């Protein structure tokens, strides 16, 4: 399944965005659980790019599981320490030990992790590849601290947030999703949307 977000920005909007030194960013909403606590993980800028008048973002939904030792502080850019070699499978349990991931089959509706690395403190999450205006990009979707001998699970919701930002790097830790971010829900029944840009409010909107 290919998911597509097409974004159109007129000349006035592009001039405003460029004059402010801003970029377009996308965040994927991931629900996660570790130590029996369930909630939304820290928002990470999955994709950040300088916009054109017509922008096309596509991805196929496949995810990798990754580990990072980067402290999860606002403005930090996630450095991936290790990742699965292949797309992960729903229901499988993946163990991180000796600096690498191994997986075993199972049943369920989440991506599952078992952290068996005592040091340094690791955070984990999903990462995904996309194509932005014909350019390949790969970055984390979320990040969650997981202690040694602790398990966690992750589940994409299909919700994508779209907004302008002064952040310049994919995989940057944010404090929160901006209040004016456009929420986009993509499903197998609706895998593509068209988005416009409002020059008056400098926000995005869904085209009917």
Domain count within the chain: 1
pLDDT digits (tens, 9 = 90+) for 105-125: 888 899 999 999 988 999 999
pLDDT digits (tens, 9 = 90+) for 69-78: 999 999 999 9
Question: Which domain covers residue 46, as residue numbers?
Answer: 3-206
| pTM of structure | 0.94
Determine the Cα–Cα distance for residues 51 and 54; give it in Å rounded to an integer: 8
Determine the Cα–Cα distance for residues 14 and 40; give it in Å rounded to an integer: 32
Judge whether 63 and 87 are in contact, CB under 8 Å: yes
pLDDT of 42 above 90: no
For the record, the structure tokens of 72 come out as 């999860």
């Amino acid at each position: 399944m290919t998911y597509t977000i097409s974004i159109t920005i007129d000349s006035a909007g592009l001039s405003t965005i460029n004059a402010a030194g801003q970029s377009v960013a996308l965040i994927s909403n991931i629900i996660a659980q570790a130590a029996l606590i369930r909630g939304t993980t820290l928002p990470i800028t999955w994709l950040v790019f300088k916009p054109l008048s017509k922008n096309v973002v596509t991805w196929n939904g496949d995810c990798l599981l990754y580990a990072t030792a980067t402290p999860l502080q606002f403005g930090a850019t996630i450095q991936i320490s290790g990742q699965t070699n292949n797309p992960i499978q729903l229901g499988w349990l993946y163990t991180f030990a000796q600096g690498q991931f191994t997986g075993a089959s199972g049943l369920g509706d989440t991506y599952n992790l078992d952290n068996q690395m005592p040091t340094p403190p690791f955070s984990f999450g999903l990462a995904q590849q996309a194509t932005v205006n014909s350019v390949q990009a790969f970055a984390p979707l979320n990040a969650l601290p997981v202690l040694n001998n602790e398990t966690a699970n992750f589940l994409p919701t299909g919700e994508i947030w779209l907004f302008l930002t002064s952040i310049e790097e994919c995989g940057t830790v944010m404090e929160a999703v901006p209040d004016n971010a456009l929420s986009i829900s993509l499903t197998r029944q609706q895998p593509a949307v068209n988005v416009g840009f409002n020059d008056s409010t400098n926000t995005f909107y869904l085209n009917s």
